[in-house]
């Protein structure tokens, strides 16, 4: 423990310890003997100080020209390019996903930084002609104020960037609470932000639990908007906390995403997509491909190949370049996955491969589960309906495109879906009729890019989107401006302009 680094909160431009005087450990889920670092076990006093700093900093930051704000974001992205490997390795150590994926996580933060830096020279409003003479009118964006960000552990740098970069370019100030399982990645990000010239108080990080940090952050009336990514259960709690004061609330929550494989699909391509979609990030993605809905004519061929490939996946420490799948994030998540596997077996689903915790050797020091595939899964089964967030996927038969679409929509969520087909007409029908915020053709349900909106419908979200131009909507308010240079009072919809 003598070599373990203690990381501090960042409040008003200073790295400080929590007022609680307590810390918590961050351990490697692939090797729990390794303590990645110790972090501040913060409380409401720390949160209040961070909010006060952000509120004061907002007075000046909102007046910094947006192009200048964008230039800082550009420098942050450039710095991340140089620090990509270090940040990726730290991320694998603290959350387990394989190194090629954590490099991609950092790359998303780079891409988002470049994208939002360019918005500093856009932040588009628009003008329209007035119905009255000698009158000019336009609308512009203005920042909301202090924003609170509550971020998850599965994409511990990408998702903070989705929230923080648009918030900053719009002129807001930020208090971020990272997930307790992955505070180091957010620390690394904020450290770079500090070193690239963000003014004191504009960005603040407070580590700790949802109860002691997240709850006071979401309930503070000085926080104009909360942006949260996590479970639907906690998202509902966040929404209720913001609703009493009519404050802004942006929610990105669960998913139960499906790949629809039709009879004319390229089966080998579909199997590749299913493997990546189901077991990438150990299935710990809100966009994970956790349901395979397969036409009866090709279900045997598809299932046989999927099971064969799933059995061949190499599981282990994500720092090993040859590993395909890492551990669950923590013991609780691993146990949840194993419980769902037992539920699937009890309800009559056919376990085709996997289904157990991996043990022995290095596996005993981590939270490893086998890549698991269930067959003969019906729509009334729990594993078809509920989000598992782990290395489990299921195969369900359909008899037609129309039935496949109906099964795809048979979920409380609406984040992502995909179809594999060689028929453009079927692709467009599925694209139109499957009700999700994201849709893919001949690709898995993962792979979003930062310049298109990210989010979903139904229990997946509350109507907002991240990334793309839509990402700035959460963090800006519209202001309509009318400039009358006629020299007299003109009454819209009333005056006779002749």
Q: What pTM does this model have?
A: 0.95
Cα 348 to the center of its chain, rounded Å: 33
pLDDT at 254 over 70: yes
Once rounded to an integer, what is the mean pLDDT over residues 135-160? 97
pLDDT-derived band of residue 492, with 50, 70 and 90 as boundaries?
confident
For residue 486, tell me if it sits in a domain.
Answer: no
Write out pLDDT tens, residues 352-361: 999 999 999 9
Whether residue 96 sits in one domain with residue 30: yes
Contact (Cβ atoms closer than 8 angstroms) between residue 305 and residue 298: no
The residues that bridge with 104 in the sheet, in sequence order, are: none
SS3 content of the chain, % helix, strand, coil (to 5): 40, 25, 40
Whether residue 71 sits in one domain with residue 130: yes
pLDDT at 496 over 80: no
Once rounded to an integer, what is the mean pLDDT over residues 193-218? 97
Write out pLDDT tens, residues 368-379: 999 999 999 999
For residue 456, tell me if it sits in a domain.
Answer: no
Whether residue 98 sits in one domain with residue 183: yes
pLDDT at 495 over 80: no
Write out pLDDT tens, residues 97-117: 999 999 999 999 999 999 999
Is 252 among the catalytic positions? yes
Whether residue 288 sits in one domain with residue 173: no
By residue range, what is the domain housing residue 273? 257-441
pLDDT-derived band of residue 319, with 50, 70 and 90 as boundaries?
very high
The residues that bridge with 16 in the sheet, in sequence order, are: 9
Q: Which of 252, 387, 466, 473 is catalytic?
A: 252
**Per-residue pLDDT at 239:** 96
For residue 143, tell me if it sits in a domain.
Answer: yes
Write out pLDDT tens, residues 387-402: 999 999 999 999 999 9
Whether residue 274 sits in one domain with residue 238: no
* Per-position b or e across 208-217, b if 16+ CB within 10 A of its CB: bebebbbbbb
Is 263 among the catalytic positions? no
Distance (Å, whole) CA 119 – CA 140: 13
CATH number at residue 434: 3.40.309.10
Whether residue 281 sits in one domain with residue 157: no
CB count within 10 Å of CB 112 equals 29
For tokens 């679409």, what's the residue? 405
pLDDT at 498 over 70: no
Whether residue 243 sits in one domain with residue 211: yes
Q: Which of 87, 242, 249, 286 is catalytic?
A: 286
Once rounded to an integer, what is the mean pLDDT over residues 131-148? 97
The residues that bridge with 149 in the sheet, in sequence order, are: 176, 227
Write out pLDDT tens, residues 323-334: 999 999 999 999
pLDDT at 3 over 90: no
Cβ neighbors of 116 (< 8 A, separation 6 or more) are 70, 73, 165, 166, 168, 169, 471, 472
Once rounded to an integer, what is the mean pLDDT over residues 437-441? 98
For residue 452, tell me if it sits in a domain.
Answer: no
DSSP for 178-219, please give it: --TT-HHHHHHHHHHHHHTTPPTTTEEE--S-IIIIIHHHHH
Whether residue 244 sits in one domain with residue 143: yes
pLDDT at 73 over 60: yes
Whether residue 274 sits in one domain with residue 249: no
In the three-class reduction of DSSP (H, G, I as helix; E, B as strand; rest coil), residue 199 is classed as coil
Contact (Cβ atoms closer than 8 angstroms) between residue 47 and residue 16: no
pLDDT at 1 over 80: no
Write out pLDDT tens, residues 452-478: 999 999 999 999 999 999 999 999 999
Whether residue 152 sits in one domain with residue 36: yes
Nearest Cα residue to 149 out of 47, 298, 269: 47
Strand 135-143 and strand 476-484: pairing? antiparallel
User: Which pair of structure tokens corresponds to residue 83?
Assistant: 């620090």
In the three-class reduction of DSSP (H, G, I as helix; E, B as strand; rest coil), residue 12 is classed as coil
Domain count, the chain: 2
Contact (Cβ atoms closer than 8 angstroms) between residue 392 and residue 372: yes
pLDDT at 497 over 60: no
For the chain, the average pLDDT equals: 97
**Per-residue pLDDT at 310:** 98
Whether residue 261 sits in one domain with residue 197: no
**Per-residue pLDDT at 493:** 85
Whether residue 328 sits in one domain with residue 186: no
CATH number at residue 81: 3.40.605.10
For residues 96, 98, 101 and 107, what is the CA-based torsion angle, rounded to 10 degrees? 70
Distance (Å, whole) CA 135 – CA 130: 6
């Amino acid at each position: 423990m003598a070599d373990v680094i203690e990381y501090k909160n960042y409040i008003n431009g200073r790295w400080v310890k929590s007022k609680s005087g307590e810390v918590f450990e961050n351990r490697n889920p692939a090797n729990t003997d390794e303590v990645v670092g110790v972090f501040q076990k913060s409380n409401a006093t720390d949160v209040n100080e961070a909010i006060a700093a952000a509120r004061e900093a907002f007075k000046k930051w909102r007046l910094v020209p947006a192009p200048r704000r964008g230039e800082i974001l550009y420098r942050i992205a450039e710095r991340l390019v140089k620090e990509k490997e270090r940040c990726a390795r730290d991320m694998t150590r603290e959350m387990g996903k394989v190194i090629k994926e954590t490099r991609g996580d950092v790359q998303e933060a780079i891409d988002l930084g470049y994208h939002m830096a360019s918005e500093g020279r856009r932040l588009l409003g628009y003008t329209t002609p007035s119905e009255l003479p000698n009158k000019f009118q336009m609308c512009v964006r203005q920042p909301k104020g202090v924003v609170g960000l509550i971020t998850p552990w599965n994409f511990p740098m990408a998702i903070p960037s989705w929230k923080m970069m648009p918030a900053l370019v719009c002129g807001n100030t930020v208090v971020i609470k990272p997930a307790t399982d992955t505070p180091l990645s957010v620390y690394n990000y904020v450290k770079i932000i500090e070193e690239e010239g963000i003014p004191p108080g504009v960005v603040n990080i407070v580590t700790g639990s949802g109860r002691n940090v997240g709850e006071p952050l979401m309930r503070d009336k000085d926080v104009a908007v909360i942006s949260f990514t996590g479970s639907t259960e906690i998202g509902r709690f966040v929404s209720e906390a913001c609703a009493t004061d009519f404050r802004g609330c942006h929610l990105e929550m669960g998913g139960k995403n499906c790949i629809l494989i039709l009879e004319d699909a390229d089966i080998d391509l579909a199997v590749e997509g299913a493997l990546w979609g189901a077991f990438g990030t150990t299935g710990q993605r809100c966009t994970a491909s956790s349901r395979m809905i397969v036409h009866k004519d090709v279900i045997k061929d598809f299932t046989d190949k999927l099971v064969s490939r799933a059995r061949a996946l190499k599981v282990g420490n994500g720092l090993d370049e040859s590993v395909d799948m890492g551990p669950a994030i923590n013991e609780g998540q691993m146990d949840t996955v194993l419980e769902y596997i037992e539920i699937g077996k009890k309800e009559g689903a056919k376990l085709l491969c996997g289904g157990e915790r991996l043990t022995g050797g290095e596996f005993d020091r981590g939270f490893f589960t086998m890549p698991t595939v269930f067959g003969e899964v019906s729509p009334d089964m729990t594993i078809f309906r509920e989000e598992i967030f782990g290395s489990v996927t299921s195969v369900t038969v359909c008899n037609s495109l129309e039935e496949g679409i109906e099964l795809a929509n048979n979920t409380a969520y609406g984040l992502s879906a995909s179809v594999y087909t060689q028929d453009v007409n079927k692709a467009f029908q599925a694209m139109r009729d499957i009700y999700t915020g994201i849709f893919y053709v001949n690709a898995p349900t993962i792979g979003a890019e930062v310049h298109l909106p990210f989010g979903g419908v139904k229990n997946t979200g509350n109507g907002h989107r991240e990334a793309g131009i839509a990402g700035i909507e959460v963090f800006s308010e519209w202001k309509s401006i009318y400039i009358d240079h006629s020299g007299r009072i003109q009454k819209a919809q009333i005056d006779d302009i002749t």
